[in-house]
Structure 1
């Protein structure tokens, strides 16, 4: 079914924000950006849903997918959904929570690897590498690391953290990117690499892509 001018305007806005930020904007932000009322946005969103242009699970700001039309299918083909696996500490290690904690949509052209996953960062120990509290660290599954790579590791089978990895002759060093945090040193058998950090999604929604600043 064809979209009206106002419906297409909202649809195109949502498509751009999903592609750029990996998640739908809030109702308040959408209304402010488009210069209309909250009620108008809610009504338009309902109309898009009835026409099959969007699908929602639960509340608007939590889950929204674009699903209608050739251009929309092409947009969907460029997107992929990554699981968020609990939380991981960027500071003092915390208990490694393995439960599913939702998902996030990213551009598959930026992150094309297999079995990628995200971990939610807590703490400020990696701020020098551009990884801040509340960010999502996008990880490529791995059980090894080269010196200097930023990795997610499991310590002593229980605690997880994101640090820069260095292999020494008789131990492993996990170095922060913040002078306020100490270097962590462990015997070989106490550190298990979980994945290499290949990108970061800002807590505010922006994306730092592969390579520059985070690997």
Structure 2
């Protein structure tokens, strides 16, 4: 079951693809759905992707494909009439909606590909890649290419420090984080320590302890009791600016 906005968005994308062969931009989707920001469009697209109505095409930046369509409201109304009416009325109603139903059930052609732009995600201050510093100092928005983000809710943190350089994460980079409270050994996470300080590290379990490993041999691992550490998200990507 889709929400009204999710339904409106997938129908809007599919209709535009049928007309032009090119998906609307995030800005056009935002305006069509009367949303306040493109981040709202991104959340809707992520939800539709999770429900297998659309997918991001691999190896093609900023590309989407409509996999299937939800039932159109007018088709649902006609089907209700079929159930409640006489046999003759049912036959007439079925004939009336046969063409829209066929169109809705047919997946969009793979050639209909989106050429989407960027989305805005919250930027929550700076995070240490060396020793922990206070996390979430403030909140603004960061424009990010949609191709860098997968499914789920994301936010960004500016990296401070050099303890993750051997993982290719440099001071001044923007870490793109997918919100989650679950992590597997070896994943790079945002770890909130004692609800006050956060750090970006490899997450590992070591017996009864949690070990946060740097990616710089000049730094030592940090060990904490599990109750001291809460995972706030997993690294989804890195955005780097060149001046």
Q: Is the shorter-chain TM-score for this pair beyond 0.5, marking a shared fold?
A: yes
- 1:20-99 to 2 correspondences below 5 Å: 77-99=116-138
Give the alignment partner of residue 157 of structure 1, picking from 195, 203, 228: 195
Distance 1:157 1:108 in 2: 30
Aligned residue pair count: 130
**Partner of residue 180, structure 2:** 142
Gaps of 5+ in 1: 1-73, 206-215
- 1:199-214 to 2 correspondences below 5 Å: 199-204=237-242
Distance 1:169 1:125 in 2: 24
More helix per residue: 1 or 2? Answer: 2
- Tell me by how many angstroms 1:98 deviates: 4.1
Distance 1:198 1:121 in 2: 14
Indicate the structure (1 or 2) with the bigger Cα radius of gyration. Answer: 2
Distance 1:79 1:194 in 2: 24
Distance 1:88 1:188 in 2: 20
Q: Secondary structure at the match of 1:109?
A: helix
Query: 1:138-169 CA deviation, whole Å, 9 max, x = no partner?
Result: 00001011000000110011111000000122
Q: Secondary structure at the match of 1:145?
A: coil
Distance 1:179 1:81 in 2: 35
Distance 1:119 1:196 in 2: 12
**Partner of residue 126, structure 1:** 164
More strand per residue: 1 or 2? Answer: 1
Q: Which runs of 4+ in 1 moved over 6 A?
A: none
Give the alignment partner of residue 176 of structure 1, picking from 214, 224, 236: 214
